[in-house]
C-alpha cells in the first residue's frame, strides 16, 4: 500500500554495532525526495538477545526495519513469513510490518548486488571468483547464480569454510570450486571478482592486480577506496563499490516499506557520497 505524504510512520536499522550505518542517511534522503514528511528513520543498537523484546515494543506506526549483523538470521524465527530470496540464504535484511500486524522478511542484498552489477554493465559472465566465505559470501553466490553461467571459485582460509561454501553452491545451484586463500592472487584474473572480506583483508593482494583487470565488486564502502580497489582503478579495471550495493539494496527497502516506486536512487546515492566524504 502506498504511504501518504502526511502519514506519521517510522522505520529504523537495527544491529550491533550500528553507529557506522549509512542507512539513516539513505532512507531519509529518499523520504525527503518522495515528500514523505511525516516519516522518520533511526538507528538502534540491538543484539540477538535484545531483538525479541525490541520487536515486541513496535506499534502500528512502524512500517519496517533494516537489519545488519548479527540479526539477519536471528530474526527469522520471529517472523510470520520470509521471501524465497531470504530463505535461499537463510538471511533477512528487511522486515516489512504490515497493516494487519504481520512481520514479513526479505533479503534485498541479493537483488541489490545484481542491480549494482548491471548498472556497471555486468549482465553475464562465464566465470567468477569470490574472496572470503562469511555471511556476505553466501549472498554473493546467490547473486552470482543470476549473472554467472559457469564456475565460481571461492578462496577461503579453512576446509570448514570451504565445505560450507560448497554446500551453499549446491543449495543455490551454483557450480562452486574452493581454493586456498594462499592462492587468492589467482582470483584477480577472473572476469568478475567479488571481495566479501573485512577491511584490510585484501590489502596484500593489491600488488598482484593484473595489467588489464576486468571487474572488481568490493562490498566495503568505509574506508574507501580499499587498497585493492584503488590499484584496480589505477590499472583501468571497472570497480563496483560497497556504496553501490548499499544504495541499491536500500532502494528496494524504501519501495517495500513505503509503497513508492521507483525510489530515488540518485538522491540516495548523493546523500551517501556526501556522508562518506564528511567522515
Query: Which residue out of 9, 10, 28, 72 is catalytically annotated?
Result: 72
- DSSP letters spanning 123-159: S-BS-EEEE--SHHHHHHHHHHHHHB-S-EEEEESSH
CA 108 to chain centre: 7
Write the Ramachandran bin of 265: left for phi over 0, alpha for psi from -120 to 50, otherwise beta.
alpha
The residue with cell 545451484 is 173
- Does residue 2 have an active-site annotation? no
Beta strands in the chain (DSSP E): 9-15, 39-45, 62-67, 81-82, 94-97, 103-106, 128-131, 152-156, 176-180, 192-195, 215-218, 238-240
The residue with cell 533511526 is 42
278 three-class SS? helix
Active site residues: 72
Amino acid at each position: 500500500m502506498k504511504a501518504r505524504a502526511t502519514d506519521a510512520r517510522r522505520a529504523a536499522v537495527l544491529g550491533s554495532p550500528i553507529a557506522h550505518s549509512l542507512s539513516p542517511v539513505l532512507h531519509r534522503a529518499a523520504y525527503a525526495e518522495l515528500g514523505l514528511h511525516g516519516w522518520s528513520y533511526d538507528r538502534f543498537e540491538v543484539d540477538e538477545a535484545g531483538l525479541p523484546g525490541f520487536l515486541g515494543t513496535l506499534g502500528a506506526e512502524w512500517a519496517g526495519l533494516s537489519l545488519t549483523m548479527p540479526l539477519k538470521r536471528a530474526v527469522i524465527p520471529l517472523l510470520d513469513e520470509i521471501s524465497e530470496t531470504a530463505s535461499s540464504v537463510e538471511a533477512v535484511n528487511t522486515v516489512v510490518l504490515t497493516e494487519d500486524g504481520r512481520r514479513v522478511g526479505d533479503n534485498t542484498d541479493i537483488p541489490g548486488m545484481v542491480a549494482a552489477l548491471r548498472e556497471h554493465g555486468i549482465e553475464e559472465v562465464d566465470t567468477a571468483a569470490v574472496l572470503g566465505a562469511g555471511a556476505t559470501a553466501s549472498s554473493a553466490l546467490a547473486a552470482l547464480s543470476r549473472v554467472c553461467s559457469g564456475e565460481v571459485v571461492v578462496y577461503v582460509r579453512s576446509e570448514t569454510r570451504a565445505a560450507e561454501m560448497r554446500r551453499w553452491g549446491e543449495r543455490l545451484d551454483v557450480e562452486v570450486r574452493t581454493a586456498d586463500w594462499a592462492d587468492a592472487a589467482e582470483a584477480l584474473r577472473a572476469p568478475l571478482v567479488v571481495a566479501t572480506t573485512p577491511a584490510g583483508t585484501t590489502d596484500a593482494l593489491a600488488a598482484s592486480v593484473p595489467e588489464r583487470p576486468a571487474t572488481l565488486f568490493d562490498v566495503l564502502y568505509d574506508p574507501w577506496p580499499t587498497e585493492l580497489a584503488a590499484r584496480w582503478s589505477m590499472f583501468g579495471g571497472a570497480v563496483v563499490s560497497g556504496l553501490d550495493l548499499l544504495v541499491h539494496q536500500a532502494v528496494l527497502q524504501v519501495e517495500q516499506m513505503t509503497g513508492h516506486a521507483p525510489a530515488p536512487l540518485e538522491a540516495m546515492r548523493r546523500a551517501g557520497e556526501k556522508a562518506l566524504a564528511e567522515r
